[in-house]
Structure 1
Amino acid sequence: MAPKEEPVRVALIVEDDSEVRGLAAALLEETDLKVVEAASAQEAFDYLRQNADQVAFLFTDMHLSNLTDGSDLVRTVRLNWPWVRTVVTAGWPVDPLFDDMPGDVRFMPKPWRALDVLMEAERAAQAYRRD
């Protein structure tokens, strides 16, 4: 009998600033999660429509430079894929848009600390269960 294969667990990073996105990706590549990058909420939705069952962790900027911002992305993800551990980040210490976020969404102000991001990713990887 072959050993059971571990399911793919994905960290989806959504950030319109390519340097910040690359930094987050490099950091999360140190975890057991496969890293997928998206420059917009639309790219994230496209990925999620095909691969949501693999996504354990969403790390998104609140303010994206497209029609759909991070708050819309988070609300949709929490409604459709509630198992995805979600962390929202923004350049302000406390973002007023965060007040409308579901209670289990974590806010992390920029500049975020690497250890905080890694701890959230680790929690997502441990909690991830694929039905």
Structure 2
Amino acid sequence: MGQKIEPYRVALIVEDDFEVRGLAAALLEETDLKVVEASSAEEALDYLRQHSDEVAFLFADVRLPCLMDGLDLVRTVRLKWPWVRTLLTSGRPLDQREGEVPRDVRFMQKPWKALDVLMEAEKAADASRRH
């Protein structure tokens, strides 16, 4: 028999820098969430279209390759999948684009603190247990 997948149990990391993505993945593997990695917003959206019911947490960088950046991605996710707890990160301050970040999206400037990221992921995991 197939194994039933528990909904809302995935942390989706969207980061084009391989080393930073690996660091975030190693960190989030310490939580109860299964870690899935993507290197672009388009790759993340492809995953979400097929597995949105499994995703509890999105951890995305602002600067991403291809057509969509991280800000475009989090706005799309908040509209289509509002239950996904979202954390946006960048090595640069947002400045003029700060007003474009949805209110319920947490922003952390790099280098982020591991404990802060873990706390956001744990909040997502806790919320997923209540659904």
Fold similarity call, TM over 0.5: yes
Q: Which residue does the alignment assign to 1:73?
A: 73
Q: What is the distance in 2 between the residues matched to 1:44 and 1:130?
A: 25
Identity over aligned pairs, percent: 70
Q: In the alignment, what sits opposite 2:13? A: 13
Give the TM-score, by structure 1 length: 0.91
The superposition leaves residues 73-122 of structure 1 with CA deviations (integer Å, 9 ceiling, x where unpaired) of 00100000000000000002x31323211110000000001000000000
Corresponding residue pairs, total: 126
State the shift of 1:54 in Å: 0.5
The alpha carbon displacement at 1:129 in A equals 5.6
Give the secondary-structure state (helix, strand or coil) at the position aligned to 1:44: helix
> SS at 1:128's partner residue?
helix
In the other structure, the counterpart of 2:55 is: 55
Question: Once the two structures are superposed, what CA deviation does each residue of 1:45-83 show, in whole Å capped at 9, x if it has no partner?
Answer: 010000001100000001112211001100100000000
The residue number in structure 2 matching 1:102 is 102
Unaligned runs of 5+ in 2: none
Query: Counterparts of 2:129 and 2:115 in 1: how far apart (Å)?
Result: 24
- Separation in 1, partners of 2:21, 2:88: 13
Q: Which residue in the other structure is 1:46 paired with? A: 46
TM-score normalized by the length of structure 2: 0.91
**Runs of 5+ unmatched residues, structure 1:** none
